[in-house]
Structure 1
């Protein structure tokens, strides 16, 4: 929230620059380590399916959650392993699960859990 940060007296442009440089550094390091681990990098690695998987990870875990990508990644890997065993079209079922998550918890699984916990705490406070 740049307006809030500016109202608080924080240097917004400097912070944006630091975050951009830091994220680019981490992305470059991750790519370099991945290439060293695999031994070679080909253009086919940057396929549409990989981009969609990255989007699914974020949507599943939660967009505004710190641990959302870790939870989404675990759910996607687990769901792919479990659904892929008995279903030929497991990605279609996974798509239905994603749509269900987006309807029930638009902010992802972690956001939905936070919503449920807040609702439970408010009911408990009233009792």
Structure 2
């Protein structure tokens, strides 16, 4: 039996959350979502997703802080994280990279880039 790759989306924008969710479902990924980032480190330790899509601008908490926390924890440090954000000045990009995320995608996210990024870290789950 094939392991179905599990992806966690942490995104507070409803439309982006739905878009990413739908794109992942089309590809047969198992999808978990969080709108606020609260309790994410514990959720990730329990659920062990194969990939995390992390919005950087969350309500009341920085995605960068969550990424740093996850990368410091030996139990979650090996899970690839793709940071997704709309605000990307040069220094923001440096901060995002310094957080330890594995890749960065600017919003609005191109669908092609989104799938390329996914497949860089996890196998496609398409059942042809």
Comparing both chains, which one has the higher relative contact order based on Cα–Cα distances under 8 Å and sequence gaps of 6 or more? 2
Larger fraction in strand: 2
TM over 0.5: same fold?
no
Normalising by structure 2, report the TM-score. Answer: 0.23
Normalising by structure 1, report the TM-score. Answer: 0.23
Structure whose alpha-carbon radius of gyration is higher: 1
